[in-house]
Amino acid sequence: MALNLSLSAPPIRSPQQPLLHYSAKHTIVVSSDRLPYPKSTVSKSSSRRVVTRVRSSLDTVGPTVKVGQVTEVDKDTFWPLVKAADDKTVVLDMYTQWCGPCKVMAPKFQELSKKYLDVVFLKLDCNQENKQPLAKELGIKVVPTFKILKDSKVVKEVTGAKFDDLVLAIEAVRTS
């Protein structure tokens, strides 16, 4: 298996080796059955020990979100993403395809994801079969419903197409 990694590390100098500096893209061939996880390199200098961990996209397990975008979730991806968000604010848009107010809010919700880069924005189509259990678990009664979470707990809820209320709720949770 070959991985393309971009490494950037401070120069390492030891009495036995010349100056080493990694700052370009390298192709590294890895035999996964021979290397323990996490992969790391250790270099000892005269007075310190330097440990560099090398991670690749193959080390990423589970769902991921992109900053400035809204991520579609289902019952299998929602809670792992919320837990991965740690202490960040998470906003979940629970909608259906046929809902008129949901269609009005969708582009505004996308704009908020570009404005608040420190907030994780997720959306859940409550009308699809694999997503209905999560909607029930979160207690949805009307669409659109926006759940705002902090530390994996729902702290605020906005029901209906109330954009100004949603912005105020996000601001309140972000600053708390």
Q: SS3 sequence, 32-86?
A: CCCCCCCCEEEEECCCCEEEEECCCHHHCCCCCCCCCCEEECCCCCHHHHHHHCC
CA 46/CA 158 separation, integer angstroms: 59
Contact criterion met (CB below 8 Å) for 154 and 138: yes
* Active-site choice (81, 90, 92, 102): 102
102 labelled catalytic: yes
Q: Let me know if 99 is a catalytic residue.
A: yes
Active-site residue (options: 82, 90, 94, 99): 99
145 phi and psi, to 5 degrees?
-125, 135
Torsions phi, psi of 73, nearest 5? -125, 165
Active site amino acids: 99, 102
